[in-house]
Amino acid sequence: MNKKRVVVTGLGSVTPLGNDVESTWSNILAGKTGVGPLTRLNADEYPAKVAAELKDFNIEEFGVERKEARKMDRFTHYAIAASLMAVKDSKLDITDENAHRVGVWIGSGIGGMETFEQQYETFQKRGYRRVSPFFVPMIIPDMAAGQVSIMLGAKGFNSCTVTACATGTNSIGDAFKVIQRGDADVMVSGGAEAPITKMSVAGFCANTALSTNPDPEKASRPFDSNRDGFVMGEGAGIVVLEELDHALKRGATIYAEIVGYGCTGDAYHITAPAPAGEGGARAMKMALEDGGIRPEEMDYINAHGTSTPYNDKYETMAVKEVFGEHAYKLAMSSTKSMTGHLLGAAGGVEAIFTVLAMKDSVLPPTINIETPDPDCDLDYVANEARKQEVNVAMSNSLGFGGHNATIVFKKYQS
């Protein structure tokens, strides 16, 4: 099969570091953290005291009227905002003529959890008649893709991935394949999540996945010896993927080319990664092979890097398995040290960071590396951003259920 080339032509995000790509990226390069005190909930009720929350976000600023906004969960608000920004950035005009060739693939790890909790409380107190008629459409994870397609008028391939923390990367990888095989010209893709809710935080606290470090500045510390869990984050990251000839024909700005995608299962444990990151290693190898990339060509990896003890250690081991001695020559950083972990949105946001590292020739840092872990001995771009040319880069995402996903980008060359 003649595979079509696919490029990135638009970026959009809302994150704990800013409600657009520019402010988020600026804060990332400055090594600022988006983590702060947990305010959406009563922190006294949880061992986790910090979270990476959005600040001053208002969906009405993106053209969604208040009446319509009340029919959507917050994760859908985030997806809409990031998607509208990405499409605007791409200068893509969706018309009756091309709408059937423009698709949407946006995932969410847990969907409308906040709506579920609120409506269940209403049901318990007041009965089924008082439950919102929009309850089901508000909670199902595919509604981000559904609402975005409606707002954009995109009538092409429409889907949703739910693979826990691998969701965003799987979504982009799957959307890439849709275009590569010729089923669409453009795909709006990524992930959205609004997980800072009573039950979500309770569940992650109960399985001891969240950091109990009360210091917002220091709680998220991937690859550091004193890491003790991830920090919950929220937001959305969306990219516009486009078939190369289609992009060139309309004079689009090209950020990078997406060339490889790998997706594997651990078949090991519902929450713990497979020993030595075996599944993640296979996903990286698959992505390299898919893109025709030699291991020694890799310049930068945006790591999954959650700040949990096993994830960071095993991801490091997986990188060594895949890249051999070159593992010590490439750079790898975890931007979750600043954004927190956006669960199903993480891969979308981190794909944007990976592309921008390539565009701007700068490596985002991993902040809070103070006491190096002997098991984590690679170049994690500790604490400060670094100017460096990036020609080939990858982004990793690993999720509960043993889901592993990797995407590979190259600097675009005609």
How many domains does one find in the chain?
Answer: 1
Catalytic-residue membership of 263 = no
List pLDDT tens digits, range 77-122. Answer: 999 999 999 999 999 999 999 999 999 999 999 999 999 999 999 9
Closest CA to 242 of 347, 354, 374, 89: 89
Q: Which domain holds residue 197?
A: 1-414
List pLDDT tens digits, range 326-352. Answer: 999 999 999 999 999 999 999 999 999
Q: What is the pLDDT of residue 309?
A: 95
Catalytic-residue membership of 100 = no
Catalytic-residue membership of 376 = no
Coil vs helix vs strand at 241: strand
Q: What is the pLDDT of residue 173?
A: 98
Residue 136 Cα to chain centre, angstroms:
25
HSE-up (13 A, CA, CB side) for residue 68: 12
Encoded tokens for 321: 């398995």
Neighbours of 45 (CB within 10 A): 11
- The catalytic position among 77, 160, 263, 341 is 341
- The catalytic position among 77, 160, 263, 304 is 304
Show the low-confidence residues of the chain (pLDDT under 70).
1
Distance CA 264, CA 249 (A): 35
Q: What is the pLDDT of residue 2?
A: 84
Q: What is the pLDDT of residue 203?
A: 98
Residues 110-124: b if buried by 16+ CB within 10 A, e if exposed: bbbbbbbebbeeeee
Backbone φ and ψ of 395, nearest 5° = -130, 130
Closest CA to 343 of 71, 113, 73: 113
DSSP letter (8 states) at residue 69: H
CATH number of the domain enclosing 359: 3.40.47.10
Distance CA 42, CA 49 (A): 9
HSE-up (13 A, CA, CB side) for residue 346: 37
Backbone φ and ψ of 34, nearest 5° = -95, 5
CB 359 within 8 A of CB 388: no
Neighbours of 3 (CB within 10 A): 12
Encoded tokens for 153: 């008028």
- The catalytic position among 165, 246, 263, 403 is 165
